[in-house]
Amino acid sequence: MVDVILGLQWGDEGKGKIVDFFAKDYDVVARFQGGPNAGHTLYVQDKKVVLHQIPSGVFHPGIINLIGNGVVLDPVTLKKECDTVASFGIDLKKNLFIAERTHLILPTHRALDKAAEISKGNQKIGSTLKGIGPTYMDKTGRNGLRVGDLLDKNFTTQYIKLRMKHQRLLDNYNFQEDITAWEEEFFEALEFLKQLNIVNGEYFINSQIKAGKRILAEGAQGSMLDIDFGTFPYVTSSNTISAGVCNGLGVAPQHIGEVIGVTKAYCTRVGGGPFPTELENETGEELRKTGNEFGATTGRPRRCGWIDLVALNFACMINGVTRIVMTKADVLDAFSELEICTAYQVDGKESREVPFQMDRRKPVPLYQKFAGWNSPTSQARTVDELPATMKTYVSFINKYLGVDIHYISNGPGRDQIIQVK
Ligand code: GDP
Ligand code: IMO
Ligand code: MG
């Protein structure tokens, strides 16, 4: 069986911490999409670690971690990350596997990402500039290079061919930056990558399923950044939703079990695009400060606002969410009043649906007010220690979504999580 943990908002919901927490119940943890645009924060031996490409189960010895075919992989970031992980005594030869169909992010993909963003001017996506979009474009355009191609003696010829194509595009953008240094570290990192366990991902994962192993698929980004269902064009370039597990790992739909959706107790977004409940005021500033809302990959300040049940309801629908984990509840500790968005006003009409072209329709959020708990909760370890006002907030969300919050996370630490159902 394959259970899934994924983000229900615009990313950074705390997936890394939650995957790390649940990993002990699984034999395999697999990433199925995205790439180094992700930044998943975990605390290991009280040290903060941010993982971009390696699945968040890697710190549990004995668990197999798979980078699936749906991921786009930057060998340079991977090498750095492997060094960090190895410094904790983890033997990656034993527990990290990479699917041979995984597409490679080339230095010119990063350059193209940058050139494309610059050319968009004030309509820029706010990409992490890790080369995600151009790499997926080469995948669907049937030009990309894959991890398994590395073992092919024609690899360099294929690389040069693609690089020349990219150069023509870069010339078109009038992109002048010298990327020689990027290429040097890329080729060095490829030698490192070749030493890792490169496998046929689909046979690998299906043999695990057949052997009755428990698998956890780890999503990156969030449902509202999904290429099909997110706030297009302000999205990432992969299917971040549960359906992405099937084509991102080669797993048939009947093998999917629980779909665990992670949401913050409020909402954030980093980068451009619509965000109906965004608070561009002191309250938003306080959420950012208290929640330490700065990007784990880029360090950019995250935009902050109240929880949006219209968007969450949509995310639960398209993912088939069976359980919810609510993170960062402790960040709301200091607020005496909270608001929950229960509907949008779109074109003058009240609606509970996410509209097409959210960027142009500009939905106005309609709120219901709730009393805050106004007391510290990060020390709580049992449901009985949680304030009644928090329970009211949670049960309202459960009722609205028709899916229950099973866990509340009340701090970044591994032990700061409470089972409530
Ligand atoms: P991800 O991309 O979904 O894995 O999330 P990020 O790691 O980008 O951002 C989540 C941030 O919130 C990280 O700094 C975590 O350490 C932190 N975090 C996770 N859960 C909690 C929580 O319950 N409370 C607090 N205060 N911080 C949390
Ligand atoms: P995790 O896994 C938050 C956002 C970028 C930008 C848009 C497109 O840590 O939750 P891209 O680099 O994919 O071309 O950027 O998507 N974005 C994320 N926002 N968390 C992420 O990952 C993100 N990955 C991409 O900020 O708006
Ligand atoms: Mg993140």
Specify the 3-state DSSP secondary structure of 245: helix
Which domains are seen in the chain, by residue range? 2-99+199-260 (3.40.440.10), 103-193 (1.10.300.10), 264-419 (3.90.170.10)
- The angle subtended at Cα 169 by Cα 163 and Cα 170, nearest 5°, is 85
Distances, alpha carbon 400 to alpha carbons 1, 186, 235, 271, 396, in Å: 29, 49, 26, 28, 6
Query: Ligand 2 centre and the CA of 53: distance in Å?
Result: 13
Q: Which residue's structure tokens are 């798979």?
A: 66
Query: Ligand 2 centre and the CA of 248: distance in Å?
Result: 18
Specify the 3-state DSSP secondary structure of 191: helix
Helices 388-401/309-319 angle, 10° precision = 50
Closest CA to 105 of 28, 14, 179: 179
Contacts of residue 159, defined as CB under 8 A and 6 or more positions apart, other chains included, come to: 106, 145
Which amino acid is it at 410?
A: N
Contacts of residue 22, defined as CB under 8 A and 6 or more positions apart, other chains included, come to: 5, 216, 260
Residue 237 Cα: closest atom of ligand 2: 13
Query: Ligand 2 centre and the CA of 140: distance in Å?
Result: 20
Contacts of residue 374, defined as CB under 8 A and 6 or more positions apart, other chains included, come to: 333, 334, 335, 336, 389
Per-chain residues with Cβ under 5 A from ion ligand 3 = 12, 39, 296
Specify the 3-state DSSP secondary structure of 87: coil
Query: Ligand 1 centre and the CA of 12: distance in Å?
Result: 7
Which amino acid is it at 276?
A: P
Give me the pLDDT at residue 297, please: 84
Find how far residue 221's CA is from the centre of its chain. Answer: 3
Q: State the catalytic residues.
A: 12, 40
Residue 413, Cβ neighbours under 10 Å: how many? 12
Tokens of 212: 């009755």
Give me the pLDDT at residue 214, please: 98
Give me the pLDDT at residue 57, please: 97
Q: Which ligand is nearest to the CA of 5?
A: 1
Residue ranges in the chain modelled with pLDDT below 70: none
d(CA 408, CA 421): 10
Question: What's the length of the chain?
Answer: 421
Find how far residue 134's CA is from the centre of its chain. Answer: 18
Residue 351, Cβ neighbours under 10 Å: how many? 15
Q: Which ligand is nearest to the CA of 56?
A: 1
Residue 233, Cβ neighbours under 10 Å: how many? 13
Give me the pLDDT at residue 257, please: 98
Q: Which residue's structure tokens are 């073992």?
A: 151
Q: Which residue's structure tokens are 């004995």?
A: 62
Tokens of 261: 């959706």
Give me the pLDDT at residue 381, please: 97
Give me the pLDDT at residue 22, please: 97
Output the pTM of the full model: 0.98
Give me the pLDDT at residue 83, please: 97
Nearest residue by C-alpha to atom 3 in ligand 2: 11
Specify the 3-state DSSP secondary structure of 109: helix
Nearest residue by C-alpha to atom 27 in ligand 1: 412
H-helix segments, 275-412: 282-290, 309-319, 358-361, 388-401
Q: Which of 17, 236, 298 to mutate to test the pocket of ligand 2 (most atoms within 8 A of CB)?
A: 236
d(CA 272, CA 300): 12
Tokens of 186: 């890329």
